[in-house]
Amino acid sequence: MSAVDVDALDSNQTPLYCAAYNGDLEGVKALIKKGADIEKLVGQGQWWSVLQAAIAQKHLNVIKYLIKRGANLKTSLFGKTPFDWANEKGINMEEIIKQCKTEMVDKFIYLVRLDKFEEAKKVLEKSKKTFFGNIIDQLGSQQMTAMYCVAFDNKSEAIKWLVAQGANPSHPISQGYTPLFVAVSQKKDAATRALLECGADTSQTIQNLTIFQLSTRVGVDLVAILKEVSTVYNALVDEFVLCVRKCNFQRAGEILQRRKDIIDANASNNFNALYCAVCDQNLPAVNWLIEKGVNVNKACVDGITACALAVTQKMEPIIELLIEHRADLTIKDVDGFDCYARAQYVSVDLKAISERVKVKKQHIVHDFVVAVRKNSYSIAEELLKKHPWVIDECDNNQLTALYCCVCDGNITGIEWLLQHGANIEKTVIQNITPLHAAVSKKQPSVVKALLKRGANPTIKDGSGFDAFGRAKYEGFDLDSLVKECKVVPHLVAPVMPNMSNQTALPVATQQNINLATSNNQPTLQTQPVITQPNHSISQDPVSIRGTSSTPHTQPTITQQNQSLSPQEVSVRAGSNTVTVDPNAFNTIKAGNTLQPPHSMESNSVQYNSFSSGSSGGGDSSFVMTTTMVKSIDNSAVSDFPTDEISMYNSKRSTSVSSSNSTLSSFSGKTKTIEELMQEKYTNISLIGRGGFGAVFKCDKIIKNRKNAPAQTRAVKLIEFVSTDDLNRSLREAFRLCGLQHENVLKVHDAYVLQMGSAGSLSEKNTMCIEMEFIPCGDLAERFLKKKVCLSNDLIKHCIRCMCDALVYLYEEKQMVHRDIKPHNIMIRSIDLDHNQLDIVLGDFGLAKSVGDSASSASFAGTLQYMSPELFMMQQGMSEEHEDEDQETLRKHAHASDMFALGVTFYQLISLDMVTSVTGLIMKFMGDEKKLFAALREKIAKNCSDNNVSYDEKLIDLIFGMMKRDPDERLTAQQVLDTLNE
């Protein structure tokens, strides 16, 4: 029998309608399998649906089957929906839907746990066509998700498959327990690694316990796993960005299925996929990324967004596309430029583009709202796929699609919109929410649907009424609906999945559960849940005890050796029963020492205390090798205890080793950064904050020196979690202490303020760099942002100072700066009336020794000042440097500093902070005549506007620093020789 035959009308009735009306479930199944149309309406006026026939005759099994097969619950007969008909027949339609959903979720979970992914996918696709939508993160009958179950099963492939299908690896079950929490607590290494690879959230806290504290207590080295995962993740991001740039969207999509957050992640060159696509003027790639949900406002280097880059490069089609998808034009970069300022500078009519986008968006929103209101979901789905922003956008009447569906009483439309991410609290005119509208129209079914999806009845409209106030005014009983729809918390601790048909035993949070049917039988009880898990697990073990007529005494919290199963968990605490006070865990140390070494209350505390006591998982410590030499800053000698070697008056060796598994732990009162700082300095005030930390102005306390004048210092604070990063930065900071040049910022000292608490791997250590205080700001702040021109002689003087400093760094210290720009050239003193300017090169946060292999030529610094060869190497567009020896890399590292210096002084003589010189080099394909001609126009314009002049030799000298070929670029010594001629 063909599909046409099974839908043939006989007396205005189809075979499927007759089977449903008669309650013939097997007949209904057979007809649907043969292709019968479940939505075919019958009757002379084609009024009745198959579902309504089953409801009319109260055939519950048929109703359930039809709902599972995606029967339309919105089909109206004489103005009544299936919900209304079911209510008249005394059928609880909502309970039936809930049962159907739970059965489908249970089947899905069962198939996933058995690795039957193809069958599971069919169930998942089927669910998307039903009233209850995507079930991938829904709870089954055991109140657990599929992700939670496979995490307990230690099935890494199942975890990755679920994420590829759109599952959230951090979706919690009852009381907030996440898949990662159960994987770590049960030492499921494969599941833990898979969850972290898929982007599971490690910042969640459950019962005041972080995932890092839990891992320490159960003996799982989560930090080591994170390091491994991070390496894989970084490689994956690089591959994703490269695939997008090459328009290999199939492979990029596969990567995106593994990790959704990769779409906005920065590759090793510090740019994300969208930024690179815009830089390449790759419109298809930008389109694809937007369809996949990229954050169009994610800023990259120097706070520059993709839209700002598109404006600078005058790419109107991409600008229009980004604005259409809610690009924020007011985001400012580090230099204070937003898109409007950039547009004005490069002569792009951003307002006209915005107006065109506005008109286009109004048409799209209108079509979307109409499609949803007419239940044309295929059209709406297509529009939403192309324009994700449309879901909450207002049409010409200033109404959203969700608001319109509420006014229509269109529950199916409401559910569809909410499943696709509509904001249930999005307000329209006069701050009215969808719930306000449903209450005003007295629609109980709509109100219940909104309340069950989390609508907030306490939000007030523009007149000051919340939903309760509106209900009282309209004579509508909202209170009973709120009570009926209120979600009751499920009283279980992290329950374990049960593969058998037996229901898993929930663990009560308030009292013991007695499951015995008689007082003569033993009862299965649980220990009371404590505020924090004991030091081995996240759940108390289940024990069997006899019952008696006397009241139970409060049981002790015990740990027992039991076999691991979905219902009971072994504590692995030894053969003897141990009573543990959870609050005392932080003081339990090896060797019966209650107070850990280097406690903040002990006498041996130093700022540089790195030795850590053993903490559960073996011996690991942070070792620093030091060699005594003459102190660089004598004032620092008396500031610290003399019974241990202080790194403040010792030369720091480059032999530094560390372990990242534990940090120093402290008992008693933990001191804050402010308290530790106040022990060394007075008059502390914040003077700046940037990407690498915060800088304070303060007066150094000089102990044992009466009437000594105050020494004003600038102290930079940088926080670290990883001791590897801390070691690396300390090594660089120690090198800076040895720099002695009149045009290089003096670094007096470097040390670490370490704070922590027992068992915590997330406490940060703060490195402090004590520097010379520079009172007059920097070149960018003092001149460029204020549009102040320096004279020809002062520009030469500044070039001479900086090149002299670079020669010192290159020749004597074998260092490259890697982040030269106007912001990092600071002014020690200034007197423009007498043509005097004392400047220093500072902020060596990115400085590297030339001997650090190829790292000196790796990406660092600021995009606008990056040399073309470094840019191309990091973009993967040039292979010419891959086999070069270290001497060539060293030469290019110096040349890159010179390029940045050239761009800096070009900006000072043109006041042009927008143009990317490297970008122009790429645009002109390396044609330096066109490049320098374009730059000369900018310089000439500035000279004309501000009545200044610069001689041709000076301009040519600056251009010599910006040559495309690093081998032809002037060196610092060559610049000095030219100026001295």
207-221, 374-388, 549-563, range with the lowest pLDDT: 549-563
More confident residue, 583 or 225: 225
Residue 609 pLDDT class (50, 70, 90 cuts): very low
For residues 347-368, give the mean pLDDT: 88
Q: Count CB neighbours of 333 within 10 A.
A: 21
This prediction's pTM = 0.47
Residue 470 burial (10 A CB sphere; 0-12, 13-18, 19+): buried
For residues 18-32, give the mean pLDDT: 80
Query: CA nearest 901: which of 816, 831, 830?
Result: 816
Which residues does 33 contact at the CB level (< 8 Å), separation at least 6?
Answer: none
For residues 507-514, give the mean pLDDT: 32
Q: How far is CA 704 from CA 244, 637, 646, 750, in A?
A: 63, 10, 18, 21
Q: Count CB neighbours of 409 within 10 A.
A: 17
436-450, 577-591, 745-759, range with the lowest pLDDT: 577-591
For residues 352-372, give the mean pLDDT: 89
Instruction: Enter the tokens of residue 507.
Output: 């663990």
Q: Quick one: which H or E segment has residue 64?
A: helix 60-68
Instruction: Compute the distance between CA of residue 436 and CA of residue 467 in angstroms, rounded to an integer.
Output: 5
Domains and CATH numbers, the chain: 3-91 (1.25.40.20), 354-485 (1.25.40.20), 590-772 (3.30.200.20), 779-980 (1.10.510.10)
Instruction: Enter the tokens of residue 727.
Output: 């070691």
Task: Identify the sign of the CA torsion 374, 376, 379, 383.
Answer: positive
Instruction: Compute the distance between CA of residue 974 and CA of residue 719 in angstroms, rounded to an integer.
Output: 40
Strand order in the sheet with 693-700: 681-690, 693-700, 711-720, 765-772, 747-754
Instruction: Compute the distance between CA of residue 826 and CA of residue 216 in angstroms, rounded to an integer.
Output: 46
Which residues does 193 contact at the CB level (< 8 Å), separation at least 6?
Answer: 156, 225, 228, 229
80 is in an annotated binding site: no
Would you say residue 642 has pLDDT above 50?
Answer: no
Instruction: Compute the distance between CA of residue 373 and CA of residue 328 in angstroms, rounded to an integer.
Output: 30
Amino acid identity of residue 520, one-letter, is N
Instruction: Compute the distance between CA of residue 723 and CA of residue 611 in angstroms, rounded to an integer.
Output: 12
Long-range interactions of 441-444: CB distance < 8 A, separation 24+: 441/406, 441/407, 441/409, 442/474, 442/476, 443/406, 443/409, 444/481
Instruction: Compute the distance between CA of residue 926 and CA of residue 919 in angstroms, rounded to an integer.
Output: 10
Instruction: Compute the distance between CA of residue 537 and CA of residue 185 in angstroms, rounded to an integer.
Output: 6
132-141, 488-497, 524-533, range with the lowest pLDDT: 524-533
Would you say residue 346 has pLDDT above 50?
Answer: yes
Q: What is the pLDDT of residues 176-228, one digit of tens each?
A: 788 998 898 888 889 998 898 888 888 878 777 888 888 888 888 888 888 88
Q: Are strands 848-849 and 815-816 parallel, antiparallel or unpaired?
A: antiparallel
pLDDT for position 808: 93
pLDDT for position 487: 39
Residue 700: phi and psi, rounded to 5, are -75, 135
Q: How far is CA 884 from CA 268, 857, 858, 891, in A?
A: 20, 12, 14, 11
pLDDT for position 507: 31
Q: What is the pLDDT of residues 663-710, one digit of tens each?
A: 333 334 456 677 778 888 888 888 877 656 788 899 988 776 666 677
Q: What is the pLDDT of residues 276-321, one digit of tens each?
A: 999 888 999 999 998 888 999 988 878 889 999 999 888 889 999 9
Residue 562 and residue 549 in contact, taking contact as beta carbons nearer than 8 Å: no
Would you say residue 759 has pLDDT above 80?
Answer: no
Chain mean pLDDT for the chain = 73
Residue 567 and residue 542 in contact, taking contact as beta carbons nearer than 8 Å: yes
Instruction: Enter the tokens of residue 803.
Output: 């090149």
Please tell me the number of Cα atoms within 13 Å of 233 on its side-chain side. 22
Residue 834: phi and psi, rounded to 5, are -105, 15
Residue 647: phi and psi, rounded to 5, are -75, -5
